[in-house]
Structure 1
Amino acid sequence: MIMKKKWRSLSDSAHYQRNKFLNLSATPVMAEGVSFSKLLFDYIRRPSSITPSHALPSVQTDLRALPGDAPVIVWFGHSSYLLHYRDTNILVDPVFSGHASPLPGMIKAFAGTGTYGVTDMPPLDYLLLSHNHYDHLDKKTIAALQPHTGACYVPLGVGRDIGSPAATDLRITEMDWWETVQLPPDMQLTATPARHFSGRGLRRATSLWASYVLQMPGYTIFIGGDSGYDTHFRDIGEKYGPFDLAILECGQYNASWPYIHMFPEQTLQAAEDLQAKALLPVHWGKFALANHPWNEPIRRLTSAASGSGITVTTPLIGEPVVLGHSYPQQQWWEF
Structure 2
Amino acid sequence: MQILIILLALLAVAVYVFSKQDKVGYYAKGDRLARMEATPNFKDGVFDNLEHTPSLAEGESMFTVIKKWLFTSNPNKQPLHELPHVQTDLNALPLDSNVLVWFGHSSYYLQLDGKRILVDPVFSGNASPINNVKAFLGTNTFHVEDMPEIDILVISHDHWDHLDYATILALKPKVKRVLTGLGVGAHFEGWGYEPNTITELYWGETADIDGLHFTSCTARHFSGRWFKRNTSLWSSFAVRGQHLNLFLGGDSGYGTHFKKIGDALGPFDWAVLENGQYNESWRYIHMLPDEVVKASQELRAKKLLPVHSSKFVLSIHDWDEPLKQVSKHGQTNGVPVATPKIGEVLYLDQNQTFLHWWEQV
The interval holding the TM-score normalised by the smaller chain is over 0.9
Structure 1 residue aligned with 2:11: none
| Alignment counterpart, residue 302 of structure 2, candidates 248, 273, 277 | 277
Count the aligned residue pairs.
328
Distance 1:23 1:313 in 2: 30
Deviation track 1:192-225 (CA, whole Å, cap 9, x = no partner) reads 0000001111100111100000000011000000
Per-residue deviation, 1:30: 0.8
| Alignment counterpart, residue 74 of structure 1, candidates 101, 124, 148 | 101
**Residues 298-317 of structure 1 mapped to structure 2, 5 A cutoff:** 298-317=323-342
3-state SS of the aligned residue for 2:245?
Answer: strand
**In the alignment, residue 178 of structure 2 is paired with which amino acid?**
C
Asked whether the 8 Å contact 1:73–1:84 carries over to 2, the reply is yes
**In the alignment, residue 88 of structure 1 is paired with which amino acid?**
K
Deviation track 1:116-146 (CA, whole Å, cap 9, x = no partner) reads 0101011000100000100000011011001
Deviation track 1:214-268 (CA, whole Å, cap 9, x = no partner) reads 0000110000000000011000101111100000000111111110000000000
| Alignment counterpart, residue 319 of structure 1, candidates 344, 350, 353 | 344
Distance 2:87 2:153 in 1: 22
3-state SS of the aligned residue for 1:293?
Answer: coil
Which is richer in helix?
2
3-state SS of the aligned residue for 2:84?
Answer: coil
With the length of structure 2 as denominator, give the TM-score of the two structures. 0.88
Deviation track 1:62-105 (CA, whole Å, cap 9, x = no partner) reads 1012234442000000000001124210000000011000112x
Structure 2 residue aligned with 1:236: 261
Distance 2:180 2:353 in 1: 30
Deviation track 1:253-303 (CA, whole Å, cap 9, x = no partner) reads 111111000000000000000111110000001011001000001111111
Aligned CA distance change for structure 1 residues 117 and 326 (closer, same or farther; 3 Å) = farther
Distance 1:6 1:12 in 2: 11
Distance 2:143 2:247 in 1: 24
Asked whether the 8 Å contact 1:315–1:327 carries over to 2, the reply is no
**Residues 106-121 of structure 1 mapped to structure 2, 5 A cutoff:** 106-121=132-147
**In the alignment, residue 230 of structure 1 is paired with which amino acid?**
G
Distance 2:111 2:347 in 1: 10
Structure 1 residue aligned with 2:20: none
| Alignment counterpart, residue 88 of structure 1, candidates 110, 115, 130 | 115
Asked whether the 8 Å contact 1:146–1:169 carries over to 2, the reply is no
Structure 1 residue aligned with 2:213: 188
Distance 1:222 1:45 in 2: 38
Distance 1:163 1:187 in 2: 24
Structure 1 residue aligned with 2:41: 15
Asked whether the 8 Å contact 1:267–1:301 carries over to 2, the reply is yes
**In the alignment, residue 350 of structure 2 is paired with which amino acid?**
H
**Residues 1-335 of structure 1 mapped to structure 2, 5 A cutoff:** 7=32, 9=34, 10-46=36-72, 47-104=74-131, 106-164=132-190, 167-169=192-194, 171-184=197-210, 186-334=211-359, 335=361
Asked whether the 8 Å contact 1:312–1:329 carries over to 2, the reply is no
Asked whether the 8 Å contact 2:113–2:241 carries over to 1, the reply is no
Specify every segment of 5 or more residues in structure 2 that has no aligned partner in the other structure, as ranges. Answer: 1-29
Specify every segment of 5 or more residues in structure 1 that has no aligned partner in the other structure, as ranges. Answer: none
Distance 1:328 1:251 in 2: 22
Distance 1:281 1:74 in 2: 13
**In the alignment, residue 111 of structure 2 is paired with which amino acid?**
H
Distance 2:231 2:243 in 1: 37
Per-residue deviation, 1:8: 5.1
CA RMSD of aligned residues (A): 1.5
3-state SS of the aligned residue for 1:256?
Answer: helix
Per-residue deviation, 1:15: 1.8
Distance 2:335 2:37 in 1: 40
| Identical-residue share of aligned pairs (%) | 45
Asked whether the 8 Å contact 2:303–2:337 carries over to 1, the reply is yes
Distance 1:156 1:212 in 2: 13
3-state SS of the aligned residue for 1:330?
Answer: coil
**In the alignment, residue 173 of structure 2 is paired with which amino acid?**
P
**In the alignment, residue 11 of structure 1 is paired with which amino acid?**
E
With the length of structure 1 as denominator, give the TM-score of the two structures. 0.94
3-state SS of the aligned residue for 2:90?
Answer: coil
Larger radius of gyration: 2
